Amino acid sequence: MRRCMFVDDSSVIRKVAKRILGGPDMVIIEASTGNDAYRMCEADMPDIIVIDSGLPDMSAEDLIRRIKAIRSPIVPQIAICLTEVDVPVIMRAKRAGAHSFILKPFNRAQLLERFRALNAPSRAA
């Protein structure tokens, strides 16, 4: 079963993502701040992490770098979530270690397609 973390200060975005992606093959965990997400990743690294570009406590790039520095057998696929295509923000996130980006608001088809493109490996049982 794969684990995905959505890091967003909006409970609505987290709830929508959980409703779309949650199921027997995917567990969705939530964090509302970068610090919470970092602590959760230290304890149990998820397979996929989606990070809002406008977190209240740290930049998405800083969180990506901090997560990438955690020693873990799981190397997560990371996507940054934006409200508009902002090439400089996307490039900074990619330099920090992000693999992709997602635009919000997203719908079911968009989110599922982006997750197929991330092609995150399944976690060993």
pLDDT in tens, 65-122: 999 999 999 999 999 999 999 999 999 999 999 999 999 888 888 888 888 877 654 3
Q: What is this structure's pTM? A: 0.90
- Which helix (DSSP H) or strand (DSSP E) does residue 35 occupy? helix 34-43
pLDDT in tens, 42-66: 999 999 999 999 999 999 999 999 9
> 3-state DSSP call for residue 12?
helix
Q: How far is CA 78 from the centre of its chain?
A: 5
Q: Is the peptide bond before 105 cis (omega within 30 degrees of 0)?
A: yes
Domains of the chain, earliest start first: 2-118 (3.40.50.2300)
